[in-house]
Structure 1
Amino acid sequence: MALHQLSGPRLPPARGEATYLVVLCHGYGADGNDLIGLAPMWQRLLPTVAFVSPNAPQRCDAGPGYQWFPISRLDPAEMARGVESAAATLENFLEAELARLNLSGDKLALVGFSQGTMMALHVGLKRGVKPAAIVGYSGMLADQTLAAAPDAPPILLVHGDADPMIPIGALFASAATLGRAGAGVQWHIASGVGHSIDETGLAMGGEFLARAFHGQLARKTPEISCPVG
């Protein structure tokens, strides 16, 4: 079956040729424009990084925008099936974008919001060549049965403690599962923040990417998940 060809807004490097690629995966019912606005703010720290924010492959069942997969509730089995069904399409897009920029797979970082975090974690952890980093906002690990994450990249999870869509407990469950699987996970709880990204979380994401791109983060910290900020 032919894979859906993704498209969405891009921001080229502010200076010179791209040395890294950041792919921004939006949430349920949004589109690529929802997250590409993060790129100019992060580009101050990351001037030689290219950004792209693809529209998810399916029109949203519940309104305007797009979805990576249909979802009616936070059911573990439904989410695990969903991320797997969309994984090949996102993977195909990543390979095409890396080839377009003449970059290797380790020069990639994945950033997600909500359902996009599920996709970033699922695809990033399963890639043969692991990305330099994964940053997830207001989301969760879809497959809570994950037993091993060999050579997992550094991961940052940021979540508001007033999130009505994906409760804060999802962060703790995801961090615990990832830690047991051998991934190095850092996390931050945004006090009073709902299903969104605040300025502190935004700054943390940019700094985390910069440190990852400069080789300043451990790729693996078995059974340890630590809060930051």
Structure 2
Amino acid sequence: MQETLILEPAQPASACVIWLHGLGADRFDFQPVAEALQGVLPGVRFVLPQAPTRPVTLNGGWSMPSWYDILAIQPERALDLDQLEESAGSVLALIENQRASSIAAERIFLAGFSQGGAVVLHAAFRRWAGELGGVLALSTYAPTFDETRQLGAIQQRHPVLCLHGAHDEVVPSALGRRAHDWLAARGVAVTWRSYPMGHEVVNEEIRDIARWLAERLAG
């Protein structure tokens, strides 16, 4: 994946968070959050990839950073599945790069906001067959969670933290909750956190993320 921003910790990295931004944003969007988390999570490398710039049908065909094209809201968020698969494949390549740098797979975490969250959920539970430290799903949904699909034993061990705004008008909270419930029904250790916010990130949410990551890394 091109133009990836990598934030190295002050001490040698022993864990990694691969964090995908949302539609129309860029790799610098979550840099302040990553730097704040590094202040309380020593030894964690943050990898912030950049989505390609391409036309987005839902936004009148205007080109912008996008992990996949959104074709319509109805039927429920119709999207370009080939582009989603391509983006998920790039995430898997980043995982492999971290493993090649001596980061154990169980200490690699995937995080994504909005459209980026949809990609990491797909990558973790539809594409990646190995161990993972866990998944952070921020203000997002899971467009490829098929009700007929089950998970393997390794995928069931991926812990997930779902964080969503109760007043989100871009990705309604009900869509995020649906992803949570799908995972819970398949034996995944998934936690739901709701905040009195819209489609955004707040300090309380960042503190919850720091606590959750610290617990996973300590365990």
Q: What is the TM-score of this pair, normalised by structure 1?
A: 0.83
**Residue-pair matches, total:** 208
Quote the Cα distance in structure 1 between the aligned partners of 2:38 and 2:172.
Answer: 30
Q: Distance in 1 between matches of 2:129 and 2:80?
A: 20
1:94 and 2:95 correspond? yes
C-alpha separation in 1, matches of 2:111 and 2:217:
14
1:20 to partner: Cα distance: 0.4
1:40 Cα offset (Å): 1.3
Decide whether aligned partners of structure 1 residues 168 and 20 sit closer, same or farther in structure 2, where only a CA change above 3 A counts.
same
Alignment map for 1:170-181 (pairs within 5 Å): 170-181=175-186
Unaligned runs of 5+ in 2: none
**Superposition pairs of residues 29-178 of structure 1, within 5 angstroms:** 29-59=24-54, 61=56, 62=59, 63=62, 65-74=64-73, 75-76=75-76, 78-79=78-79, 81=81, 82-99=83-100, 101-125=101-125, 126-146=127-147, 147-150=149-152, 151=154, 152=156, 153-178=158-183
What's the CA shift for 1:39? 1.1
In 2 relative to 1, CA 173–56 (structure 1 residues): closer, same or farther, beyond 3 Å?
same
Residue 214 of structure 1 pairs with residue 218 of structure 2: yes
Q: Quickly say closer, same or farther: Cα 1:32–1:64, change in 2 above 3 A.
A: farther
| Cα distance change, pair 161–134 in 1 and its aligned pair in 2 (3 A) | same
Deviation at 1:60, TM superposition (A): 5.2
Q: Is 1:10 aligned to residue 6 of structure 2?
A: yes
Give me the identity figure in percent.
25
AA paired with 2:72? R
Q: CA RMSD in A?
A: 2.0
Q: For residues 78 and 131 of structure 2, what CA distance do their matches in structure 1 show?
A: 25
Tell me, in whole angstroms, the C-alpha distance in 1 between the residues paired with 2:178 and 2:34: 29
What do residues 106-127 of structure 1 show as CA deviations (whole Å, max 9, x unaligned)? 2200111000111111112231
Q: Note if contact 2:23-2:66 (Cα within 8 Å) is conserved in structure 1.
A: yes
Partner SS, residue 49 of structure 2: coil
Give, in angstroms, the shift of residue 59 of structure 1: 3.3
- Partner SS for 1:110: strand
| Match 1:20 to one of 11, 15, 18 | 15
SS in 1 for 2:30: helix
User: Once the two structures are superposed, what CA deviation does each residue of 1:167-208 show, in whole Å capped at 9, x if it has no partner?
Assistant: 1111221111111122111011111x1100111111111111
Deviation at 1:91, TM superposition (A): 1.4
Any stretches of 5+ residues in structure 1 without a counterpart? 216-229
Please give the per-residue CA displacement for 1:54-97, whole angstroms capped at 9, x wherever unaligned.
00134353456411110133445734825324221221233124
Instruction: Tell me: CA distance 1:87–1:121, structure 2 relative to 1, closer, same or farther (3 Å).
Output: same
